[in-house]
A and B are shown apart, each in its own frame.
Chain A
């Protein structure tokens, strides 16, 4: 089996997150593979629809939930639109896991602030559930999540779950104009929501994913709170084909997102050529 050959997986469950974003729950066809398969939160894979091609997404489910993986995607291009046409029981290809991961071991014993915008919650969600499944090994958990509008919030049932947990501080926000009459969360952009929710950087790691513009304006807020650049983690999402460091397109200067990433600290990002 060559390195470009995917494993076969079956779609077990489909969840529509928003009008254009969908989550697939996938199980390996080969049950022995299902038992062997291991990954860490933050790693990604190449998902394929046979006859359409491959597409790169993070693994959106946590490694603490064995036996399946989930991916969330927005129907945008050829492969994601084809993925959207598939139903429960259909077959997809999966290669992975690839890339580095969030430093969960390093974060143990500390507090974590999770910040996500839109579908940027997908990679963060893998870490959140990983941490919540090992809840007693971490201190305070804060989640700040926002989207353009209420309709654009993903993983809505899980947001309710987090809201009800006493051991999680959750702040939900939508952009001004994106609220509904029933909306009880903040009407603010993410940097403001972070300012209002997070009070200290002491003993705390930050994990942030979302549109580049959101990250750009949130990093100064975190820095003002006192987060050093090497305690702020994010992921980069460049176009990829192989995921293995060979096809030659995901690099930012000397840094290959597929091999050196996709998880980077803000300090590492600052040193990269500004070409992403």
Chain B
């Protein structure tokens, strides 16, 4: 990995040049409805961006998997149906100031979207996007990225990681895409900068680590063996099944496919965000629902993130951003739930529900 130094001014002029060249630039921006909050948004000039203020309310996934997205247009004609395809090539865009947990979420969803069948809509946007993430310094007590294999300094999914050093940023050029973006920008780094960056990364990591110990590798297997453990019955008592957790989650990617009329003979097929926490998600046409209770639906959420996805793709489907805990109207707290389950999994002898 190569490195470069950017002064604050140097970074600003890079963003300004991108905007001048009509490149879409997405950055954290103070929310209009609540200036204390931050959202990822398209920006028109670099002054709009608020880097390193706090974790954006929603993750980056909406820029790759929009909450509602057209899959095709159809038109009924006198002789049949005509389909108009939607483009799978997206305009180039650069995301500045992403938090490593949000970017890691995209990398996790990549694996599902490329699982035997390649989702060109997702990858069209992924390939057109260059991601510059910032060393996270906006963690709070709800964050637990270091427990799930990520971290405030993680580079998974990022093309560039910027780490603040004296007078500006040290840029880790993670991918060739990142190198291309910064090709004609930046200054050489010296050892002092590298040491400062390293210290900042360790310090950031140390702020998150106490929140939740690293999830042991055996946890996934324990969950799979304890599908019928009595703990599931009580774990979700405070869950309303609203699905807010899934909306704000950087890795939740479940969707519904529905048709919508736009006139008598024309319309669209859409995919919309969906959540495994709602009852209709799995209800059969007959009325039978394999996950008929909220405890079964919450079990699915935990099993999927910490056992099912890991069994398929070798990593946890959670980046520890903590948004589900912040969004939950019932006060469900994922790190608490996980800690409770991990403790159960480590209790001897193993209590098996099967």
Give me 11 other A-B pairs in contact (C-beta within 8 A), A245-B117, A249-B282 excluded: A4-B71, A8-B83, A50-B76, A50-B81, A50-B269, A51-B260, A246-B113, A253-B308, A254-B307, A254-B312, A273-B227
Q: Is the CB of B88 within 8 A of A2?
A: yes
- With A and B bound together, what is the CA distance between A18 and B276 in angstroms? 35
Chain A interface residue bracket vs B: 35 or more
Q: Is the CB of B83 within 8 A of A247?
A: no
**A229-251 interface (Cβ within 8 A of B):** 237-239, 241-242, 244-249, 251
> When A and B form their complex, which 10 residue pairs have the shortest distance between CB atoms, in order from nearest?
A248-B254, A273-B227, A76-B285, A91-B81, A50-B74, A91-B80, A244-B117, A4-B71, A53-B259, A77-B285
**A78-94 interface (Cβ within 8 A of B):** 80, 91, 93
A5 near B: Cβ within 8 Å? yes
A139 near B: Cβ within 8 Å? no
**B70-85 interface (Cβ within 8 A of A):** 71-72, 74, 76, 80-81, 83, 85
B186 near A: Cβ within 8 Å? no
**A217-276 interface (Cβ within 8 A of B):** 237-239, 241-242, 244-249, 251-254, 259, 273-276
Q: Is the CB of A254 within 8 A of B85?
A: no
- With A and B bound together, what is the CA distance between A271 and B229 in angstroms? 16
Q: Is the CB of B80 within 8 A of A246?
A: no
B86, B281, B283, B285 — which one has the most chain A CB atoms within 10 A of its CB? B285
B184 near A: Cβ within 8 Å? no
A166 near B: Cβ within 8 Å? no
- With A and B bound together, what is the CA distance between A244 and B224 in angstroms? 23
Task: For residue A91, give the distance in angstroms from its CB to the closest CB of chain B.
Answer: 4
B253 near A: Cβ within 8 Å? yes
Chain A interface (Cβ < 8 Å from any Cβ of B)? 1-6, 8, 10, 29, 48-54, 74, 76-77, 80, 91, 93, 237-239, 241-242, 244-249, 251-254, 259, 273-276
Q: Within 8 Å CB of A237, what residues of B? A: 284
Q: Is the CB of A275 within 8 A of B291?
A: yes
B240 near A: Cβ within 8 Å? no
B304 near A: Cβ within 8 Å? yes
- With A and B bound together, what is the CA distance between A248 and B291 in angstroms? 13
Task: For residue A75, give the distance in angstroms from its CB to the closest CB of chain B.
Answer: 10
Q: Is the CB of A4 within 8 A of B112?
A: no
- With A and B bound together, what is the CA distance between A2 and B120 in angstroms? 6
Q: Within 8 Å CB of A2, what residues of B? A: 71-72, 85-86, 88, 119-121
- With A and B bound together, what is the CA distance between A248 and B254 in angstroms? 5
Q: Is the CB of B83 within 8 A of A254?
A: no
Q: Within 8 Å CB of B81, what residues of A? A: 8, 50, 91, 93
Chain B interface, >50% SS class: mixed
- With A and B bound together, what is the CA distance between A3 and B276 in angstroms? 22
A89 (CB) vs chain B CBs: closest residue: B80
- With A and B bound together, what is the CA distance between A80 and B282 in angstroms? 17
Q: Is the CB of A245 within 8 A of B80?
A: no
The one of A1, A242, A253 in contact with B227, judged by C-beta atoms closer than 8 angstroms, is: A253
Task: For residue A92, give the distance in angstroms from its CB to the closest CB of chain B.
Answer: 9
Q: Is the CB of A247 within 8 A of B285?
A: no
Q: Is the CB of A245 within 8 A of B72?
A: no
- With A and B bound together, what is the CA distance between A54 and B112 in angstroms? 21
- With A and B bound together, what is the CA distance between A50 and B283 in angstroms? 22
- With A and B bound together, what is the CA distance between A51 and B261 in angstroms? 6
**B254-272 interface (Cβ within 8 A of A):** 254-261, 267, 269, 271
A-B residue pairs in contact (CB < 8 Å), sample of 27: A2-B86, A2-B88, A2-B120, A3-B117, A4-B121, A6-B83, A8-B80, A10-B80, A51-B74, A51-B259, A51-B260, A53-B257, A241-B274, A244-B117, A245-B112, A245-B115, A246-B253, A247-B255, A248-B253, A248-B274, A249-B276, A251-B300, A253-B224, A253-B227, A253-B303, A275-B227, A275-B296
- With A and B bound together, what is the CA distance between A239 and B287 in angstroms? 11
- With A and B bound together, what is the CA distance between A54 and B259 in angstroms? 8
B109 (CB) vs chain A CBs: closest residue: A246
Q: Within 8 Å CB of B80, what residues of A? A: 8, 10, 29, 91
Task: For residue B75, give the distance in angstroms from its CB to the closest CB of chain A.
Answer: 9
**B275-314 interface (Cβ within 8 A of A):** 276, 281-286, 290-291, 296, 300, 303-304, 307-308, 311-312
The one of B88, B119, B227, B261 in contact with A246, judged by C-beta atoms closer than 8 angstroms, is: B119
Q: Is the CB of A5 within 8 A of B227?
A: no
Task: For residue A86, give the distance in angstroms from its CB to the closest CB of chain B.
Answer: 11
A3 (CB) vs chain B CBs: closest residue: B117
Q: Within 8 Å CB of B256, what residues of A? A: 241, 247
The one of B83, B119, B254 in contact with A3, judged by C-beta atoms closer than 8 angstroms, is: B119
B228 near A: Cβ within 8 Å? yes
Task: For residue A54, give the distance in angstroms from its CB to the closest CB of chain B.
Answer: 6
